[in-house]
A and B are shown apart, each in its own frame.
Chain A
């Protein structure tokens, strides 16, 4: 059973302005979805509905067929993991090991199992050697990985990542992309919130484009990235590959780096 939003509207208490308006969408199991849009489009507000942190003012959100208004956040969080922007701000444990252990204890895992899971997760995220260090002594990239590890550890069905690559250098970005892809291949449902078009273009999953609390577009990323009008409306830039392809006049076909290189090489054959 998927995540379903039916006519979701939301306004913050005390405010009269709706930050989400008539949002209808369905996120299926094992799907990789990107939610994109400009600042203040309502992306973060929308994903906070998925684990029940916010309850819709209008309409309904169903997670696996259950109305989020009828269950506690702690129950939903077991299924829908939400990683906020700059999650490394929320570290509080004295060691990397305990930081991962925290959620597992909260969800009532058995003591024996906890050790196994923490070890496996930290190894997957290349953090096992740092297990006794304080999370605050890690580098920025390692901290982001730890934040991701602490969420993935309890094996949630849905993983929602809010701007996972913000403030990361190219290498750490690659590592994060690799780790996220791995989860997609494992059959997890991944929701990425981002306005990093290059990052999303690499994935090229289904993209939901938001602007002023409404959904502007919901469909193939590849198709969206060709539509400059929609991207501009949501304050986004076209990915560089699509820009190059359209200025070369071959924007209608498949846009991949290999095809562009072939085309450019064909234009200017080497003289020798």
Chain B
């Protein structure tokens, strides 16, 4: 029912990107955001997009990214529609959508290829206090658990005759009470359980901690970073000096 679960779950694939230091991936993410914000021509954005997709392909996550776009498509369509109404030109309406799609792909380079456990290490290596990094990581970790839980509750209540799509708008909202109440109660119970099990294992926010796994930059990380920075920088500068969008537009005019 809730196929969203698969999109939030870390698939633990053995890919090139999953071996890259998460900090390097954060740098890459920031690196790609810059040209996406700077350029506004459709061809320029498409060139950046293809580079991002190459990165995603290194993490074998393109298919998963495309699937996540299907879930977002109603939202994207709405934004495009509103843009079209206010701006009046289809191409101007599509560029913000393209930007959004690229930004999602950039975030996915990190999230689809990083083990949630390493995620905590990354946040800590940015010198965030444990209470913040741990709660953030736990929140992320529990999204798939909660979606599974929602699915279970929905199945149980449907088996007791609940019909979610019955009645008018207000009634339909009320139909969700038998799902939300158990979900909230279960989540509170679980958070207490998690807190207790952390305490039992000696986690204390202010105590000094040692780490079993330490993040270290390897030559692989440096190569990945250098190649990406070199490619993005040279292409960006080239596009800045030569108005590629103009040239390509003359060759392949897109008019709406």
Contact A77 B161 (CB under 8 A): yes
Verify if A182 is at the interface (C-beta below 8 Å from B).
no
| A contact residues, total (Cβ < 8 Å) | 25
Contact B157 A90 (CB under 8 A): yes
Minimal beta-carbon separation of A81 from chain B (angstroms)? 7
The interface-forming segment of B77-85, B178-186, B243-251 is B178-186
A81 — which chain B residues lie within 8 A by C-beta?
A: 159
Known: A13-B3, A106-B163, A136-B185. Is A92-B178 also a contact (CB below 8 A)? yes
A94: nearest residue on chain B (CB-CB)?
A: B181
Verify if B211 is at the interface (C-beta below 8 Å from A).
no
- How long is the Cα–Cα vector from A13 to B151 in the complex, in angstroms? 14
Contact A151 B160 (CB under 8 A): yes
Contact A92 B155 (CB under 8 A): no
The 8 Å CB contact of B160, one of A13, A14, A77, is A77
Verify if B153 is at the interface (C-beta below 8 Å from A).
yes
Contact A102 B185 (CB under 8 A): no
In B142-166, the 8 Å CB interface with A consists of: 152-153, 155-163
In A30-77, the 8 Å CB interface with B consists of: 48, 51, 53, 73-74, 77
Known: A14-B6, A84-B152, A90-B153. Is A106-B182 also a contact (CB below 8 A)? no
Q: Mark B28-60, 1 if CB is under 8 A from A, else 0.
A: 000000000000000000000000000000000
The 8 Å CB contact of B156, one of A74, A90, A106, A154, is A90
Verify if B177 is at the interface (C-beta below 8 Å from A).
yes
- How long is the Cα–Cα vector from A81 to B181 in the complex, in angstroms? 22
Chain A interface mostly: helix
A126 — which chain B residues lie within 8 A by C-beta?
A: none
Contact A82 B159 (CB under 8 A): yes
Contact A87 B163 (CB under 8 A): no
Contact A106 B159 (CB under 8 A): no
Known: A14-B3, A84-B152. Is A53-B159 also a contact (CB below 8 A)? yes
Chain B interface mostly: helix
Minimal beta-carbon separation of A144 from chain B (angstroms)? 14
- How long is the Cα–Cα vector from A74 to B164 in the complex, in angstroms? 10
Contact A84 B3 (CB under 8 A): no
A107: nearest residue on chain B (CB-CB)?
A: B161
In B177-208, the 8 Å CB interface with A consists of: 177-179, 181-182, 185-186
A15: nearest residue on chain B (CB-CB)?
A: B6
Known: A103-B161, A107-B161. Is A84-B156 also a contact (CB below 8 A)? yes
Minimal beta-carbon separation of B32 from chain A (angstroms)? 29
In A127-148, the 8 Å CB interface with B consists of: 136
Contact A102 B158 (CB under 8 A): no
B153 — which chain A residues lie within 8 A by C-beta?
A: 89-90
Minimal beta-carbon separation of B193 from chain A (angstroms)? 13
- How long is the Cα–Cα vector from A154 to B156 in the complex, in angstroms? 15
- How long is the Cα–Cα vector from A151 to B158 in the complex, in angstroms? 12
- How long is the Cα–Cα vector from A107 to B160 in the complex, in angstroms? 9
B163 — which chain A residues lie within 8 A by C-beta?
A: 74, 106
Contact B186 A89 (CB under 8 A): yes
Which B positions have Cβ atoms within 8 angstroms of A?
3, 6, 152-153, 155-163, 177-179, 181-182, 185-186
Q: Give 21 pairs: A residue, B residue, CB < 8 Å, sorted on A.
A: A14-B3, A14-B6, A51-B159, A53-B155, A74-B162, A77-B161, A82-B159, A84-B156, A87-B156, A89-B156, A90-B157, A90-B178, A90-B182, A91-B182, A102-B161, A102-B178, A103-B160, A103-B161, A107-B161, A150-B160, A154-B161
Q: Kindly list 4 other residue pairs between chains A and B, CB separation below 8 angstroms, not including A82-B159, A154-B161.
A: A84-B152, A87-B156, A91-B182, A92-B178
- CB-CB nearest 4 A-B residue pairs: A106-B161, A92-B181, A103-B160, A82-B159
